[in-house]
Every structure is written in structure tokens, then in C-alpha cells.
Structure 1
Amino acid sequence: MDSYEKLILPENWAWMPVKEIIEKIPLTNKKLKQKEYQQNGKFPVIDQGQVFIGGYTDKEELKISYESPLIVFGDHTKIVKFVNFDFVAGADGVKVIRPKKVFYPRLFYYFIQGIPLPDKGYARHFQFLEKSFIPLPPLPEQHRIVERIEQLFTNLDAGVESLKAARAQLKRYRQSVLKSACEGRLVPNEAELARAEGREYEPAEVLLERILEERRRKWEEKNKGKKYKDPIAPETDKLNELPEGWHWGGLDEISQHIVDCLHSTPKFVNEGKYCIDTNCIEQGKIIFENARFVSVDTYNERVRRLVPKAGDILFAREGTIGTAVIVPPNFDICLGQRMMMFRTENGIDSSYFMLALQSKIFELQWKLKITGSTVPHINIGEIKMMAIPLPPLTEQHRIVTEVERCLLAADEMEKTIEHSLKQAERLRQSILKRAFEGKLIPQDPEDEPAGVLLERIKGEKAKREAEEKAKNKKR
């Protein structure tokens, strides 16, 4: 026996080999391939995935009829599911078992989650479950244990649901902050402040004109005799009216550079330069521990259009479309697939630019331009024609400061929620562990001991077999 099976069980409990107390439900020609799953159907498909119901089907010939509760075990994933209705089994790595009458099915479901199985990756695990031992309490006590587990889980689940609701509320709060910021409602309006203080200010329209004039002047100095090409001006007819002093700034107008990633998959290595793609970004942050590396040669190839620097903004135009992050200082990075990069003009706060790209106001624009049914994406030419609401520069700075303050508070609250959710999961496992060890509820000495129950069932089985044998002899 393994160490867990050396646990000292209560006096009227017994250890049992798992293989001796289960019946395997035959699944030959009764499994459904994942590619055949439907969104709707007569029968739910139960497989070894994290989601309880993987899909649906109308294939009645594959149905596993519900006579008593069944346990679905993921041979690859070790996921355990309790099923008490008709269903169809998913094809990949599904084992369906039923505990014998000595075990209350609901308790068996809870207890097999307490058996430590080796982690063999995507290899088969059912063989280890069959060879394991499981504690068997008296039958009346099994029902009492389940009653107590589910009482505790009900209270725990209520708390978890409250935490998840709070987390969802934080997500809405973040969007509300960004919406207010990009509609001019988060901080005092620069035009109103200037008027109240009796001073001049530079409206965003004047700021944009100055940026464009400076860009043209610099280009013409470097390209004498050549014709200057104006940046793409956005179509703003269908965009909302902006606060006083604000102006719609086209992305092509307010960016020094807009570059796309190379349309090739880089060769990744164990160490080197960071390659940033949609696998390692969340809204507003690069998750460097999830980033992959490329060699110096690959890095140089991928930055030949423009070397990213601190303050540049990365934007996902495929996959997790709409995710925007800013390049932090002291990191050498290149663009992976599905990414593009902006470098803003002087007079544009790059942090404000990033926030505007994350806002619902900008999302409403790019959602209209998504193409591709297999891999949805936005063409870079379409993005250049989009616009963000542009406040005066001093107001941009104030907005960034206030958004960062609000989102920092939200981040701290989210950390607390995530910590509490992890604590709840640890408590759930602790409840199951105490139940598994016979420490969750007190034992009743009046209960028929598990050993006596087993002997009685064996005797009844032997009696039935003897009677059946006698009948056959008389025929």
C-alpha cells in the first residue's frame, strides 16, 4: 500500500481495492468523436474535458441509459464527473464506471478524488485508479458523510459565487473607467479649467494641426523635391460628438510609425530575446513569464522594420483582438505573430493612446472591420483609418494618472478575490480529505461495520449462486 493507504481508519471502516468495488460500463462502438459534437441535441456528451458537458448529439444508438449514478473518469486528464442522467460518452480517454452496492455512488465520486494518482501527462491513468485502495465506511455513515460534505459545499459555493460576481463587477468597473476617461467625464475638462483660471490652452484640434505641420516639415527637409503624402484622415461623421477642446485623432495622423509583425512563425529557443505575441499579453500588461524567446538572428530579422522601444504600443489585431499593451523600459522585444505596433507622435501621451485602444469607443470601430471566419482578424490598412478621442495634452496626462489610480485599486481588489478563490479551493480539498480519513463526522457504533457488510454481501452472493446452481441441476 502507498502511504495514504496506511492511514489509520475508524474501527468500523475497511480498505477496499477499487477494482473489486466497481463495474465497468462497456463503451465499444458507443463513443462520439469530438468533431461530431453539436451545439444542441437530445443527449449531452460527457467527456474528459474541464467543462461538465462537452457538447450534444441526437444519436440515440450511442446513449448510455441512466439506471443508477455513473462516474466518468478522464483516462488522460484524471477529471472525475458524477452523472445521473442519460448521456453519450466522448470518444477520447473516457472510462465509465459504477460502484457496487456496498458504496453510495455520491460518496464514491467524492472519495476517488482523494486517491493520489501519479501524473503521467497525457498518458493513461485509469490503470492506476484500478490498482488503488479506497476506504469503505459503513453504509449508513456513507449517507451521513455525503450529507455533511454537501452542506459544507453549499455554503462554500455560495461564497465562491459571490467572489466570482465581484470579479465580474470589477471587469465592468474597468470598462466603465475607460469609457468615462475617453468621453471626457473622468477628470476636469481642460477647456473649463482654462476658462475658470483665465488662461489660454491648446485645444486638441490645434495640437493635431501642429503635429501634422511638424511631421510634414521634417519629411520635406529629408526628402527635398519629393511629394509629401498626407496621413490617412479618419471618417468621423458617424462618431460621437466630443467634449469642448477634444478632437478625433486618426491613428495614422497621431502615430510616427505603424508597423505590422512579420507574417511567419518564428523559431523559438530556450533563451534569448523576448518575442511578444497574443499568448503572453493581457489588457495593459505583458506577462513575461509566459513569453517565448528567439535567437539574436531571429530577433534582428523581426525588428528590421522598426526596433521596439519603451513607450511603443503593441496591439493584437488577430486572436485576442483589441488587447493593447505598452512596451516597458529595459526590455528588448520583437513582435510575434498577430501583433502590430504604434509609436506615437510628440504631443500624444502613449499611455493615453493605449487606454483609448482598450476602450469600448475604439472597440465599436474595429468590430465592424473584422474579417475571416476561420481566423478573425483586422487588416492593418483598416486600423490606420480608425480614430481615438483626443483631449488636450495636459488633460491626457491627468486622465492617465486617474485611470492608473482607479485601476490600481481594482487590481488590488482582484488579487484579494483570487487569493480568496484559491483559499476556497484549498478548503474544498480539505473537506474531502477529512471525509476520506473518517474525520469529518463522528462514527455511530450502532452502524453495521464495513467488514460485516462485505461478508454479508459475499454470503448473499454465494447463496444466490448456490441456488442458481441447484436450479440448473434440476433441469
Structure 2
Amino acid sequence: MDEMNLPQGWVCLTLEDVADIYDNLREPVNSTERAKRRGPYPYYGATGQVGWINDYRQEGEFVLLGEDGAPFFDWVKDKAYLVSGKCWVNNHAHVLKGKEGVCSNRYLLYALNQTDYRGYANGTTRLKLTQSAMRRIPINLAPTKEQHRIVTKIEELFSELDKGIESLKTAQAQLKVYRQVLLKHAFEGKLTVQWRKENKDKLEPTETLLKRIEQEREQRYHQQLTEWNKSPSIPLLQRGKLTSTASIPPLEKGERGGIPKPKLPKTLPPLTAEELAELPELPEGWAYLRVGTLIEEPVYGTAKKCDYEPNGLGVLRIPNIVLGKIDATDLKYAKFDDEEISAYKLKAGDILTIRSNGSVSLVGRCALIYSKDTDYLYAGYLIRLRPLHHIVNSVYLLNIFSSHLVRKQIEQKAKSTSGVNNINSGELQSLIVSICNINEQNQILKVSICNINEQNQIRAEIELYLSETDQLDQTITTALQQAETLRQAILKKAFSGQLVPQDPNDEPASELLARIAAEKAIRDNKPKTTRTRT
């Protein structure tokens, strides 16, 4: 805001006009040294406290503004914070104090947290706000009394906002607990106790279930092998087009980059007595199995570089995995040949899971592929799981990946000290899940078996509950984001003179500055007294 648009009595100054800079008091101490010098005094960095130390360099109240490492271009996050008492500040934060009689520390704090840092903070890999650039930052200065009214109003509104945010976070935490209880009951057979009593003809012994699963895996392998034997080999398959009808020796198919021969179903290690001892008891007809017995061989995504230019096919990435579904709003693209398309093609009912991320809570997060998503391929940080649909419902498997039982296993396998958490296809296949027959799975999910008896699909009990909790969770997340946006809106109004009414009786900031300058000149010109020696 230029000075012509400021409220009456306000002036626009630079930061060095309204604040004293104490960067000379900063001193970095590395973490190894701090470990030897741990003490009662807080040690501050760019965005907050980063440790403790046994001495202090600053004493009093200061505004700390990030020099590097602060979120300068994230307009909803704070770049400055207030500290008081005895402390130590490293060289990643500027140390400021509002000039006495000109600007209070709290007014300066809020002014800096609504500043647009474009043109002041610079850097390619790490943004930095140099002291010389910081000195030029414009500060809209209100009259002293109005500054106090503005700060009081900001803190009153922020207090109400913080209470609302706390309530939303509490609700979100309770929602997560509710969701986990629901999933636990679902995958221990507790949601279908009454159904089992009323549908004994649809149940089968655990041994029969396990035998049928093994038979289904064998049948699927032989089906894939038959399809492979009928397919052309690579010399006759040029970008998906058959160029000859000659007889193809089957052994050529996978030798020169052609369609690979299907592998025998992987034999997974049986559950150990120790593993079973830690698992909840299941009803008759249920069993614990490894995920690998319920799916085809997992397939990693493409490593091809993608960009936002809409040329070629859309490639799903980690940002597209949202609340168990595909969100295609942030999509990248690349061009693929027919062989690549065949390798990374998706089918309705597939599940994509995140295999690698800096946040362990995101590793193993899944999304179900619907018909609308089958034109996309998927990137290398994702793994495709293709359930054996005669023995496991895709929605059942998707939801069990969110259960505490499976999340605990994923996070134990994926934890890393390098900062990047990974889970590979073998580890995914080794995960232990509870399984029942398809009839009971569908009862849990309350979906009809449309392909068998052409009944109309009805909404799933658990799917409905989980859908509602997902929607509520998203509503809370949106509300939290809006709360942070509202915080910035409050600050914007405050420093444009729109938050509190102006009082014509307030001493204008310009007169205040003139008076302070005059008083300083008098002090500077006053002759110094000297002591007479006797």
C-alpha cells in the first residue's frame, strides 16, 4: 500500500526506520557442540526453537525474523516470531526490536507476518533474506495509540481462531479413532456376527477357503500362460501392430524385450507361531494370510520423466492418491509406446499404493482404480496391486490397508534413517491381513456381486461409514486451511487501517517521528558535562 492510500495519521517507513537490529548478538552453535552444552536457555533458529544451551546471548523481548529457511513465499505461514527472557539466537534468524516510542514489538511482529517478501527474499535452492534487503522492507506505521488497539484486536481475533482450530483438530483426532475402531471390527468379523448366524449356507470352513484361494492362484497363472502363448513375439510386434501371421516359437517371446513369460505364483512363507500369537482371534471361516496370496505379482510404475505439458498420456503420481481415490487435478504427462502402455496399463479394481516417501504415514497409502481412471499410467513411486477378484474384493483390500493391523506392519517395514521411507513389492506381499469368503466380504462392504447374479449394487455399510468419515475429515481439513487464510485476512485488514477505527485525537505517526527526532537532536547537541578534578 503506497502512502497516498494509507489512513490519515499513518506513514509508510522502512524496517530500519522502525526497528533496531541486533544481528551482531547472533552466534551459531552446531548440534554436536550444543549436545555438550545443554542447559536451561532456549536456542532459536529461523522458524522457532531448535534446542537448549547452557548460556545466553540475548535478554529481553525480541522479534526474530528468518534469514534463511523461513517460508517466505507461503503466505499463510509465519516468518517472524516473538521471544522473551534469556536466550541464544543462531545466524538463521535476524534479531529485531521495535524502536522505543515508535513501534511496539508485537506490532512489528504482525506487520512482518503479513509482508509480501517477493523482491526481498531471494535464492534458487534456499531462499535468503539478507540484512540489507530486510532493512528496505516497508512497514505501514499507525499512530502509537492505534498500534495498541490494532494489536489488541488482532490477538482477540487470533485467540478465537485458535480455539476454533483446536476444536477442529480434536474432532479430527476423534474421527481417526472412530475410523480405526470401525476397521478393526470389520476385519475381525465383528460387523457380520448376525449375518453369519443367518447365512450359514453361504459360509465355508477355513480349510476350504484356503484351498480355494490356492486353486484360484493356480487357475490365474494358467490363464496368463495361455494368453502369453497366443501373443506375438517382439520381432513381429512393432509398437503393438502384428506384421506377420507366421508361427511364433513360444520361447522367443520374452527373449528380446517381448512380452515376459508369466511367473509361477510366488510361494510365500507361512505365518509363524510368533506372528499368529500377536494377532486377534478370528471367527470360523476366516484366516490370516499374506497379501501376496490375494494378488497378482505387484508391478512398479514407469521411471519415464513427465511434465505438465499435456502431450501423451496422463501419469498418476503420489499427489494423485487422495482419500482412497484418484484425484487427477494435478496431472503430468509423457509419451509411451505400445509395449510401455501394456506394462503400466490400469484396470478397474486395481489398487495403486505409494512405495516411497519422506513421510512414513504416506507410505502404503492406496487408491482404488475406477473405470474413469483406466486411461492413465502410473509413475515409479507407485506400485500396482491387482487383486484376484474371485477371492478378494478390491474395496475390502483397499480398506484393510488403512487398518491399524496393516498400517503398523507397513510403518515398521518402511522406516528409514536416511529420510526417505520405502517399502518394496516383496514387503508388500508379506503383509498379514485377515480374509473371509467373498460372500462375507461383500456383506461387510454391502455391495452386490453384480457379475454373478446381476443384482443392483447397494451401498456398503462400511464403505458408507468410511465415505462419510472421509468427507468429514476433508471438511475439517478444509476448515483448518480456511482458518489460516482468515488469519492472513485479519493481518491484511489490520495494516491497511481497516481493522479498528481511527481516532482523530491520536498523535499522527509523522508528528511522533518528528518529535522523537527533535528530542534526539537536543540530546545529541547538549554539551557534555565534565568532572572537575580537585
Shorter-normalised TM-score: what interval? Answer: 0.7 to 0.9
* Paired position in structure 1 for 2:523: 464
* Paired position in structure 1 for 2:144: 139
- Secondary structure of 1:389's aligned partner: strand
Q: Deviations over 1:387-431 (max 9, x none)?
A: 311122122123232222112212332343234334433432333
User: Are 1:322 and 2:364 matched, yes or no?
Assistant: yes
* Paired position in structure 2 for 1:232: 268
Contact 2:300 2:383 in 1 (8 A): yes
Q: Deviations over 1:414-458 (max 9, x none)?
A: 343234334433432333233323343344555444333222211
Q: Partners of 1:229 and 1:134 in 2: how far apart?
A: 69
* Paired position in structure 2 for 1:386: 431
Aligned pair in 2 of structure 1 residues 281, 85: CA closer, same or farther (>3 Å)? farther
Identical positions, percent: 29
Which deviates the most, 34-43 or 70-79?
34-43
Aligned pair in 2 of structure 1 residues 202, 318: CA closer, same or farther (>3 Å)? same
* Equivalences for residues 199-348 of structure 1 within 5 A: 199-203=201-205, 205-216=207-218, 219=221, 231-232=267-268, 234-235=270-271, 237=273, 238=276, 239-260=279-300, 265-270=303-308, 271=310, 272-282=312-322, 284-297=324-337, 300-301=339-340, 304=343, 307-319=345-357, 320-329=362-371, 330-345=373-388, 346-348=390-392
2:394 counterpart (350, 360, 370): 350
Contact 1:233 1:252 in 2 (8 A): no
* Paired position in structure 1 for 2:108: 108
Aligned pair in 2 of structure 1 residues 438, 381: CA closer, same or farther (>3 Å)? closer
- Secondary structure of 1:71's aligned partner: strand
Q: Which amino acid aligns with 1:99?
A: G
Contact 2:209 2:285 in 1 (8 A): no
Q: Deviations over 1:225-251 (max 9, x none)?
A: xx9777325316423221232222332
Aligned pair in 2 of structure 1 residues 47, 178: CA closer, same or farther (>3 Å)? same
Q: Which amino acid aligns with 2:406?
A: F
* Paired position in structure 2 for 1:427: 486
* Paired position in structure 1 for 2:258: none
Q: Partners of 2:266 and 2:507 in 1: how far apart?
A: 90
Aligned pair in 2 of structure 1 residues 310, 19: CA closer, same or farther (>3 Å)? same
User: Are 1:72 and 2:65 matched, yes or no?
Assistant: yes
Aligned pair in 2 of structure 1 residues 191, 203: CA closer, same or farther (>3 Å)? farther
User: Are 1:22 and 2:67 matched, yes or no?
Assistant: no
Q: TM-score, normalised by structure 2?
A: 0.73
4+ aligned runs moved over 6 Å, structure 1:
33-40, 227-230, 472-475
* Paired position in structure 2 for 1:362: 406
Contact 2:355 2:364 in 1 (8 A): yes
* Paired position in structure 2 for 1:160: 165
Shift of 1:463: 1.6
Aligned pair in 2 of structure 1 residues 364, 29: CA closer, same or farther (>3 Å)? closer
* Paired position in structure 2 for 1:9: 7
Q: Which amino acid aligns with 1:322?
A: G
* Equivalences for residues 54-73 of structure 1 within 5 A: 55-56=50-51, 58=53, 60=55, 63-73=56-66
Q: CA RMSD in A?
A: 3.8
1:176 counterpart (174, 177, 181): 181
Which deviates the most, 444-453 or 318-327?
444-453
Aligned pair in 2 of structure 1 residues 273, 97: CA closer, same or farther (>3 Å)? same
Provide the aligned length of Structure 1 versus Structure 2.
456
Aligned pair in 2 of structure 1 residues 173, 273: CA closer, same or farther (>3 Å)? farther
* Paired position in structure 1 for 2:464: 405
- Secondary structure of 1:311's aligned partner: coil
Q: Which runs of 5+ in 2 are unaligned?
A: 73-78, 230-262, 446-459
Q: Which runs of 5+ in 1 are unaligned?
A: none
Contact 1:80 1:113 in 2 (8 A): yes
Q: Partners of 1:111 and 1:217 in 2: how far apart?
A: 69
Q: Deviations over 1:138-170 (max 9, x none)?
A: 323322332222122212211111112212222
Aligned pair in 2 of structure 1 residues 85, 336: CA closer, same or farther (>3 Å)? farther
Q: Which amino acid aligns with 1:359?
A: S
Q: Partners of 1:312 and 1:327 in 2: how far apart?
A: 5
Aligned pair in 2 of structure 1 residues 153, 370: CA closer, same or farther (>3 Å)? closer
Contact 1:163 1:417 in 2 (8 A): yes
Q: TM-score, normalised by structure 1?
A: 0.81
